[in-house]
């Protein structure tokens, strides 16, 4: 009989709520929420009660005491505060707000020092397994073209600073940025977790090319990944759909966390 995977929810916003809901709906019973780490403990406690969830509401500093996987569901700004204590304690973190890693790359070095595991949940991107396999050989080009709904971009400072008119995006794609994964993450940190994930999985943040297009004709973010290497050439497209609770979050995000957690239970593993 498999043991349960114990988890601490690190941040109890929209994504944290989705994960709680998915765990409660899971009939396998192999995932157990043992605590919730939140800055506003009173608000988190009240929200937990609406789910019928009776677990300790703690600070992120206390998470290592629970001998559990920390599932990071924080904001870009709160990412480091949530994950660093567990990484320093040599624990395991499954991260969602990966765009913040571009500004906190020292956390990756810290995992090597402490023996911690920092896993990126990359469910919104196609082709990561084959990209990581290709990296074992020689990759000459990685290009991500992302079509994003203009409503998700309109309040970003980059749009105003560069005088980009998003009006025409209602009928077709409007160029927003052509640059590196690092530039995409720096200018759109709340949207381009995908760029950082891709850069870390492949040839790096500065060699990975990212093309951002505002496009109001699509139901959600569409990512096209093109990889050229000596061993394989790849072109894959993922069409994501927004969460009904928050149109800035794709529905697949919470499912990618669940898939990552299931891999920790042993048994059959698919993918490299």
pLDDT digits (tens, 9 = 90+) for 140-176: 999 999 999 998 899 999 999 999 999 999 999 999 9
pLDDT of the residue at 272? 63
Which pair of structure tokens corresponds to residue 256? 């990618």
pLDDT score for 126 = 72
Q: Does the pLDDT at position 244 exceed 80?
A: no
**Span 211-233, average pLDDT:** 94
Nearest of 86, 94, 89, 23 to residue 53 by alpha carbon: 23
Residue 128 to residue 116: CA distance in whole angstroms: 22
Q: If you average pLDDT over residues 249-253, what whole number do you get?
A: 82
2 pLDDT tier (thresholds 50, 70, 90): low
> What is the pTM (predicted TM-score) of this model?
0.91
pLDDT one-digit tens code per residue, 80-105: 999 999 999 999 999 998 888 888 99
- Contacts by 180-185 with C-beta closer than 8 Å and gap 24+? 180/205, 180/206, 180/207, 180/208, 180/209, 180/210, 181/144, 181/205, 181/206, 181/208, 181/209, 181/210, 182/102, 182/206, 183/210, 184/210, 184/212, 185/99, 185/102, 185/103
The average pLDDT across 239-260 equals 82
Instruction: Give residues with Cβ within 8 angstroms of 45, minimum separation 6.
Output: 57
Q: What is the pLDDT of residues 24-67, one digit of tens each?
A: 999 888 999 999 999 999 999 999 999 999 999 999 999 999 99
* pLDDT at 1 exceeding the cut of 60: no
> What SS3 class is residue 259?
helix
pLDDT digits (tens, 9 = 90+) for 183-218: 999 999 877 888 999 999 999 999 999 999 999 999
Q: Rounded mean pLDDT of the chain?
A: 92
Share of the chain above pLDDT 70, in %: 97
Q: What is the C-alpha to C-alpha distance for residues 161 and 56, in angstroms, rounded to an integer?
A: 44
DSSP 59: -
Strands 139-148 and 222-229, bridge-based pairing: antiparallel
- Quote the tokens at residue 200: 């870390």
Give all strands of the β-sheet with 5-10 in edge-to-edge order: 57-58, 31-37, 5-10, 69-72, 92-95, 117-120
* Distance from C-alpha of 61 to C-alpha of 254, rounded to nearest angstrom: 24
Q: Say how far apart CA 159 and CA 188 lie, in whole Å.
A: 10
Please tell me the distance from the alpha carbon of residue 93 to that of residue 260, in angstroms, as a whole number.
Answer: 11
């Amino acid at each position: 009989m498999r043991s349960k995977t114990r988890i601490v929810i690190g941040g109890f916003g929209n994504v944290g709520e989705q994960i709680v809901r998915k765990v409660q709906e899971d009939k396998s019973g192999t995932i157990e929420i043992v605590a919730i780490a939140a800055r506003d403990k009173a608000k988190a406690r009240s929200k937990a009660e609406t789910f019928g969830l009776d677990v300790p509401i703690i600070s992120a500093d206390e998470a290592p005491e629970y001998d559990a996987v920390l599932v990071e569901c924080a904001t870009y700004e709160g990412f480091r505060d949530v994950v660093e204590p567990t990484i320093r304690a040599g624990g395991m973190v499954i991260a969602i707000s990966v765009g913040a890693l571009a500004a906190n790359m020292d956390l990756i070095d810290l995992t090597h020092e402490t023996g911690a595991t920092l896993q990126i949940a990359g469910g919104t991107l196609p082709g990561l397994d084959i990209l990581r396999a290709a990296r074992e050989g020689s990759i000459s080009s990685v290009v991500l073209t992302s079509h994003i709904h203009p409503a998700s971009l309109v309040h970003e400072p980059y749009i105003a600073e560069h005088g980009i008119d998003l009006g025409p995006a209602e009928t077709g794609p409007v160029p927003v940025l052509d640059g590196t994964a690092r530039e995409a993450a720096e200018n759109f940190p709340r949207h381009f977790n995908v760029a950082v994930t891709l850069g870390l999985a492949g040839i790096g943040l500065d060699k990975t090319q990212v093309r951002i297009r505002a496009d109001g004709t699509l139901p959600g973010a569409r990512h096209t990944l093109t990889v050229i290497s000596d061993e394989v050439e790849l072109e894959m497209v993922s069409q994501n759909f927004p969460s009904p609770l928050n149109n800035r979050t794709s529905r697949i995000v919470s499912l990618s966390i669940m898939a990552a957690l299931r891999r920790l239970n042993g048994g059959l593993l698919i993918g490299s």
